[in-house]
Amino acid sequence: MELFTLSSPELYAWVILPILIFLARVCDVSLGTLRIILVSKGVKYLAPMIGFFEILIWLLAIGQIMQNLTNVYYYLFYAGGFATGTLVGLLAEEKLSIGLVMIRIITKRDATKLINHLKSEKYGLTTVDAEGVKGQVKIIFTVIRRENLNTVIKCIERFNPNAFYSVEDIRSVGTATIFPARRLRRYDNYHRLFKWHRKGK
C-alpha cells in the first residue's frame, strides 16, 4: 500500500481529523469540569466565560461527528477525548487549589502542641471539649485555603497521628476569618478581575 502524503484525503480522514476531534473533546470537557467546580466555589463571572469557550469547542467537535455518523472510528476518539478531558480538568483544578475548606479534627490525645503550632502559623481555630465513645476528646475547627490543605494534614499527622479529621468544601466565609500570609500567585490577579466590588453606602 502506498504511503499517505500530506495532501492525501485519507491522511486527513483517518489521522488528522480523529486527532482534532480527540483534542477538541479534551479541551471542552476539561473546561466543563473547571466550570462546574468554579460554580460550586461561587466564582460567578469566570465560570460563564469558560462555558462560552467550552460550548464553542464542543460544537466544532460534534459538527465533525455529525458529518461522519457512519464512521465508528471517530466515535472512539470522541469518547477517548471525553474521558481524558475529565481527568485533565480534575488535575488542573487540583493544581489551582481553588477555594476554601474546613478541617474538623477530633483527637483523644493532648492537642496543645498541634493547636499552638497552627496558631503560630496564623491559622484561625475554634476548639471545643467534647465527649466521645471512649472518653474526653478535643474538637478543632479551622477554615483554610485549599492550597494549604496538605500542609495542615502533615501538621496533624506530626503532632497527633491518631487523630480523626474530615475535610469539607466551603462556599464562602465571613470577613473576620484568619488566614496565614501567602505569596501572590499568578492566577490570583486574574481571579480578582471577576470579583464584584460593591461600593459602600
* Cβ neighbours for 144, distance < 8 A, ≥ 6 positions apart: 100, 101, 102, 103, 123, 152, 179
Statement to judge: residues 79 and 105 lie in one domain: no
Statement to judge: residues 106 and 84 lie in one domain: no
Look at residues 96, 126, 143 and tell me which one is the last residue of a structural domain: 96
pTM: 0.67
Average confidence (pLDDT) over 86-111: 88
Look at residues 96, 116, 132 and tell me which one is the last residue of a structural domain: 96
> Which CATH number goes with the domain that contains 171?
3.30.70.120
Average confidence (pLDDT) over 182-201: 44
C-alpha cell at 29: 470537557
C-alpha cell at 129: 471539649
- Per-residue pLDDT band at 12 (split at 50, 70, 90): confident
Handedness of CA 152, 154, 158, 160 (dihedral sign): positive
Q: Are strands 100-107 and 126-132 parallel, antiparallel or unpaired?
A: unpaired
Q: What is the residue range of 17's domain?
A: 10-96
Task: Establish if 105 belongs to a structural domain.
Answer: yes
Statement to judge: residues 19 and 92 lie in one domain: yes
